[in-house]
Amino acid sequence: MGDTKKITSALISVFHKDGLAPIVKELNKLGVTIYSTGGTQKFINDLGINVIPVEEVTDYPSILGGRVKTLHPKVFGGILNRQDNDSDVAEMEEYNIPQLDLVIVDLYPFEKTVASGASEQDIVEKIDIGGISLIRAAAKNFKDTLCVSSMEDYEEVLQIISENEGSVSLQDRKKFAAKSFNISSHYDSAIFNYFNAETKTPTLKISEAKGKELRYGENPHQKGFFFGDFDAIFDKLHGKELSYNNLLDVDAAVNLMAEFTNEAPAFAVLKHNNACGIAQRDTVKKAYLDALAGDPVSAFGGILISNTEIDEATAEEVHKLFCEVVIAPSFSEKALEILKGKKNRILLVQKETKLPSTQVRTSLNGYLVQDKDNKTDSKEELTYKTNNKPSNSELEDLMFASKICKHTKSNTIVLAKNKQLCASGTGQTSRVDALRQAIEKANNFKFNLDGAVMASDAFFPFPDCVEIADNAGITSVIQPGGSIKDELSIDYCNENEMSMVFTGTRHFKH
């Protein structure tokens, strides 16, 4: 038989009926015999189109509250028969099984039901049995059957059957089979992950229904893709398409700024996933200017983020800088007008959305999965290890620096003063090197480190770091503690009238 097959019969049974009517009308116009069930059958009848109830084919009613409707050999035989197999053709005739060339079926909204906070009983009832079986059967037999498993494909299917008078090529049937298996596998993964939230089987199932090819990956010779629902987190108001590296930086920016939710105006500038400037002030304009002062060189081409609406005055300052992305919970009308002055500048409004609680990355021939570091150091959990205690202003700076440190590549040292990042040492193999890098950078940008504070993502195994910090003018230190040689650092601080607090929590970031 040829690759192109004409549709003569169709089984239609869907939960979502939006956009279905034009296909049904076109099939009717082409003289296609339509079989259906329940609500879909009524929907088609209401269009004034004849439809054969599946019950007339199976001689069996819908039973168990609708749980069993289409699970019958006469239905699945009509889908799975091989039209070029003489034995199949003979059995179809012997058992009076109708041929089904087209199957239009979708699935109960399981994920939406889970997201709604419904009861377990309601969630379980949204685990589709008949639909998923019909989709798998029709997709498996793509050589003879066209499977349409999503209302998002209705428009394309309508175009195909309209332009070709009901005929569909093997290439199209195979394409829709792939789409159908994508839907069925995603559906099963969602169900497994719902149950596994309680059973904790050590198995990883990740399925993202939305995907997009990027211009390239980290470098132009690498392919890149983003899988996820970007629009659930942001409204993109302006600018070019985000790149792979943009998305990495945006992720880092969002996670950093989450530390300052519902706080005084904070503004950060990021480059290569690290903050090169961040400040917290009484106005967003001041916060931006002091964040920029942290490293105006690295800020070129950076990612900017605010925890507060960006107003006209701030936008005027931001507009002077070449930056790739600007993120805020909102923009004033005037600010938006100013910032749109650069056609490629990406402007994102961040929505109030819950971010994933786990992190996944490839490693060797597998994956590493961990809980996200959702621990934010708090004053209440600090232990004061030195004779000198931090002043109130130092304590505020210590907590500010600790938040930044948590979101900076290890090994890292963060220096801050008056809720402004003075400098950080990032991604160093030695903590001493990270500190020296930070001090040198702070000096280069004319920061006075007298009275500044220092944060470290991990403990000090030796007193060298506190000694170097002391010589630079730093007066207070925050670190996790936990080294067998903690006393050496504590003793140095006591001898030199520095204050030091322990958080008890390490914040490595690799």
Catalytic residue among 6, 126, 140, 340: 140
**Phi-psi category of residue 284: left, alpha or beta, with phi > 0 → left and psi -120 to 50 → alpha:** alpha
Which pair of structure tokens corresponds to residue 133?
Answer: 């079986």
**Cα–Cα distance, 410 to 427 (Å, whole number):** 5
Catalytic residue among 205, 272, 286, 340: 272
* H or E element at residue 5: strand 5-6
Type of residue numbered 358: T
Strand partners, 302: 323
N residues, the chain: 510
Active site includes 319?
no
Q: For 8-72, where are the alpha helices, taking DSSP H only?
A: 21-29, 38-46, 54-58
One-letter-per-residue 3-state SS of 401-463 = HHHHHHCCCCCCEEEECCCEEEEEECCCCCHHHHHHHHHHHHHHCCCCCCCCEEEECCCCCCC
Cα distance from N-terminal residue to C-terminal residue, the chain: 58
**14, 20 Cβ separation under 8 angstroms:** yes
**Peptide bond before residue 494 is cis, with ω within 30 degrees of 0:** no
Q: For 95-241, where are the alpha helices, taking DSSP H only?
A: 110-115, 120-125, 130-140, 154-163, 170-199
Which pair of structure tokens corresponds to residue 224?
Answer: 């890149």
E runs forming strands in 64-101: none
Active site includes 238?
no
One-letter-per-residue 3-state SS of 461-500 = CCCHHHHHHHHCCCCEEEECCCCCCHHHHHHHHHHCCCEE
Phi, psi dihedrals of residue 55, rounded to the nearest 5°: -60, -30
Phi, psi dihedrals of residue 128, rounded to the nearest 5°: -75, 135
Q: What is the DSSP string of 307-321?
A: SS-B-HHHHHHHTTS
Environment class of 433 (CB within 10 Å of its CB; exposed 0-12, middle 13-18, buried 19+): middle
3-state secondary structure of 376: coil
Phi, psi dihedrals of residue 146, rounded to the nearest 5°: -100, 125
**314, 285 Cβ separation under 8 angstroms:** yes
**Cα–Cα distance, 425 to 275 (Å, whole number):** 11
Residues tagged active-site = 140, 272
